[in-house]
């Protein structure tokens, strides 16, 4: 496979991830956020267990424990993001979720005592200013939905850090399956605790669940593992930073969501911060390379 073919495939993966914001938001009119996450990751887990059942036979206890730790942060990220999508636009949710990239060096400095490089620091500053433009109203108060999604960005950043800690030690595929199964179990428990889960959902809602489970989880996972070795980390980082752009475009095309001039400035600053932080992390190796955040 050529680098161009690999890059085009990664763009396709990012396009799928960006589309999930509007797909999930439209489904939430007929299903609770916790139930949606539970059914989505249950379907994905069952498919992955079937596809990789032989490889999972070598799963060790320590490997399962590491995957479960990673899965806790992933579950928290998806639950908070799905709740937030009920109260904010898909475009804003996409860009706020993208903040996880620039939060990684900040959290690494705080938790792992790894001081961020100049590029990472600049990226954090740009993204923070952009977040203010995007979320604060005239009274300097953020919308509740934006705060839920901001919590999701922190959870995804912690997920990235945990992946960078455990992935070099264990089989990446088995870690991925365990973390997705962990999301399924935790979200099922939360759904039964706070909602009334039901299998009797409208056909379009099940379509959204199956699409996010198969296309945005199983398919993208398989494609990414197959093609990423044929391109560079820099290309991958830049392509993945397009996810919030695709989210905003799908929100405009599908739901007619329009961002005002202030919000567009905020989006541009967040995107600039993501690109600066990604390039700095890839070139200088000062921050962990993100794993896939929108599985």
Query: What is the C-alpha to C-alpha distance for residues 53 and 37, in angstroms, rounded to an integer?
Result: 23
| pLDDT at 224 (0 to 100) | 81
Residue 221 has pLDDT above 90, yes or no: no
- pTM, two decimals, is 0.85
Average pLDDT (137-143) is 73
Query: What is the C-alpha to C-alpha distance for residues 77 and 155, in angstroms, rounded to an integer?
Result: 5
Helices (H), the chain: 3-27, 33-51, 53-56, 61-84, 90-97, 99-111, 118-135, 144-166, 172-194, 203-210, 220-227, 233-240, 243-255, 261-284
Query: What is the C-alpha to C-alpha distance for residues 244 and 96, in angstroms, rounded to an integer?
Result: 8
Residue 208 has pLDDT above 90, yes or no: yes
**Most confidently modeled range among 59-73, 131-145, 223-237:** 59-73
| Start-to-end Cα distance in the chain | 24
| pLDDT at 150 (0 to 100) | 94
Average pLDDT (164-169) is 82
pLDDT above 70 covers what percent of the chain?
Answer: 92
Write the CB contacts of 235 (distance below 8 Å, at least 6 apart in sequence). 3, 6, 7, 10
Neighbour-count burial for 20-53, b at 16+ CB within 10 Å, e otherwise: bbbbbbbbbeebbbbbbbbbbbbbbbebbeeebe
- pLDDT tens digits for range 224-269: 877 877 877 667 767 887 888 899 999 998 888 888 898 899 999 9
Closest CA to 172 of 286, 281, 55: 55
When comparing pLDDT for 292 and 46, which is higher?
A: 46
Query: Do 289 and 282 form a contact (C-beta atoms < 8 A)?
Result: yes
The torsion defined by the Cα of 208, 210, 213 and 219, in degrees rounded to 10, comes to: -110
């Amino acid at each position: 496979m050529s680098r161009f073919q690999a890059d085009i495939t990664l763009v396709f993966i990012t396009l799928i991830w960006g589309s999930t914001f509007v797909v999930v938001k439209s489904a939430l009119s007929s299903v609770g956020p916790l139930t949606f996450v539970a059914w989505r990751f249950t379907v994905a887990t069952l498919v992955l267990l079937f596809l990789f059942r032989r490889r999972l036979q070598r799963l060790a206890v320590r490997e399962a424990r590491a995957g479960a730790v990673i899965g806790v942060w992933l579950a928290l990220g998806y639950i908070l993001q799905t709740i937030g999508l009920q109260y904010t636009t898909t475009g804003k949710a996409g860009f706020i979720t993208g903040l996880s990239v620039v939060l990684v060096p900040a959290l690494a400095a705080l938790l792992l005592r790894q001081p961020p490089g100049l590029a990472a620091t600049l990226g954090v500053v740009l993204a923070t200013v952009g977040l203010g433009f995007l979320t604060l109203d005239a009274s300097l108060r953020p919308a509740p939905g934006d705060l839920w999604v901001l919590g999701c960005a922190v959870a995804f950043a912690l997920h990235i850090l945990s992946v960078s800690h455990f992935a070099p030690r264990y089989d990446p595929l088995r870690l991925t399956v365990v973390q997705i199964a962990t999301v399924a179990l935790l979200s099922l428990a939360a759904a039964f605790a706070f909602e009334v889960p039901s299998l009797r959902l409208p056909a379009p809602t099940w379509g959204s669940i199956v699409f996010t489970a198969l296309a945005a989880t199983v398919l993208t996972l398989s494609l990414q593992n197959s093609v990423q070795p044929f391109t560079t980390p820099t290309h991958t980082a830049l392509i993945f930073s397009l996810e919030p752009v695709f989210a905003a475009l799908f929100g405009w095309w599908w739901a007619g969501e329009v961002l005002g001039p202030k919000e567009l400035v905020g989006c541009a600053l967040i995107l600039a911060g993501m690109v600066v932080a990604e390039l700095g992390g890839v070139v200088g190796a000062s921050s962990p390379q993100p794993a896939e955040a929108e599985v």
